[in-house]
Every structure is written in structure tokens, then in C-alpha cells.
Structure 1
Amino acid sequence: MGTGDKAKHKAEEIAGKAKEKLGQATGDKEKEAAGKSEQTTSALKQAADKVKDAVTGHKDKKPDQDG
């Protein structure tokens, strides 16, 4: 999975959180719900990224160098 896709999915999560908070602050229940929906969609995409990485053997983290 490309790093660009992962960054995009994380950015979608952050945008969803911002939209949710804006909805809460303004009393706009539709915007709040849309923000929550975007966060859920982003979380699913991020989970799929992790599965793809596990299947293909790619890892973002380097092994611990203490061992």
C-alpha cells in the first residue's frame, strides 16, 4: 500500500473529526453525522491498508534495533 494512500486516508479521518466538531459547535446535526461517517469510512480504509500490508509483507515501522 502506498504511503500516499495512507496519508490521504489519515487526512480524511482528520477532516471528518473537524467536520464533526464544527457540527457540534454550530448545532448542525447533519454536519456532525457527516463527520462521524467520514471518520468511519476512513477507519475502514486504514484497516484495509493494514490488511494489504500484512498480505504483501510491507511494513511502515522498522524493526527494533534493541534486540
Structure 2
Amino acid sequence: MTRGVIDGPADNDHADGMTETTPATLLSALPFAAHLGIALHEASAERATGTLAWSPGLCTVGGALHGGGS
């Protein structure tokens, strides 16, 4: 049920899952991630790693980084 609601119907052209790509290519497809300042270091079908630097715009009361960004 979730797949059809959130992801939409399966795309038969991409039935094999995520294709290999570079972190830069993946980040270019995610403008909001770039806006947040996320740096991707590794991206594959199995794993993605990156960093998000602290900035005032990502914080809640008291300068704490918002939980969605940590």
C-alpha cells in the first residue's frame, strides 16, 4: 500500500533499482539537499553518507540543530 501512495506506481524502465551514480550527480537531482548544504560523500544502492554543517537556519530554540537535520 505505501509504495503506491508515497512512491507512485513502479516505473518499469527502472525496475533494477538505483543505478550507479556519483554523489555530485545525485545531489544535483536534489535541490533541497543542496539548499540545506548537504555534502554527499558516497552514494550507492546500499549506502549513502554525507555531512550537514551546523548553521543558524537549521536550528530550533537555543541554537540546537533540528532533529531532522541530525
* Same topology, TM > 0.5: no
Which protein has greater RCO, CA pairs closer than 8 Å, 6+ apart?
1
Per the normalisation by structure 1, the TM-score is 0.23
Higher helix content, 1 or 2: 1
Per the normalisation by structure 2, the TM-score is 0.22
